[in-house]
Copies of this chain bind each other. A is one copy, B any other.
């Protein structure tokens, strides 16, 4: 990051301090952190599961649902940042590299308006 402090690095450092202050690093092996990430993604999914697809943005636009979704998004990010940290992977760097790679793999003129096939 030119001329500033990365908020992902700031969050990584805060998570690291939070973990060390509680002596929780011993629980943070990668497989355990992936399971914790899955747990938070599951809580996020539960907030959306019964919402009509075309009303989800509106429903999440007001509290208390907006606050709860924000908390779950935060929890997912926190464990993702923590997992990258224990693996010594620069999350911002890999995110930029992957986005550049995706731009090459999905040329706008080829895929315009079409959902990319998965699996």
Question: Which of chain B's residues have a CB closer than 8 A to the CB of A92?
Answer: 7, 11
Known contacts A42-B42, A80-B73, A95-B77; is A30 also within 8 Å of B115 by CB?
Answer: no
| Contact across chains for B77 and A80 when beta carbons are under 8 A apart | yes
| Contact across chains for B47 and A69 when beta carbons are under 8 A apart | no
Chain A 34-72 interface residues, beta-carbon cutoff 8 Å to B: 34-51, 53-54, 56-57, 60-61, 66, 68-71
Chain A 1-33 interface residues, beta-carbon cutoff 8 Å to B: 1-8, 10-11, 14-15, 18, 21-24, 26-27, 29-32
Question: Which of chain B's residues have a CB closer than 8 A to the CB of A37?
Answer: 41, 44, 76
Question: Which of chain B's residues have a CB closer than 8 A to the CB of A31?
Answer: 31-32, 35, 48-49, 51, 53, 56
Could you tell me the distance between the alpha carbons of A42 and B47 in the complex, rounded to whole angstroms? 13
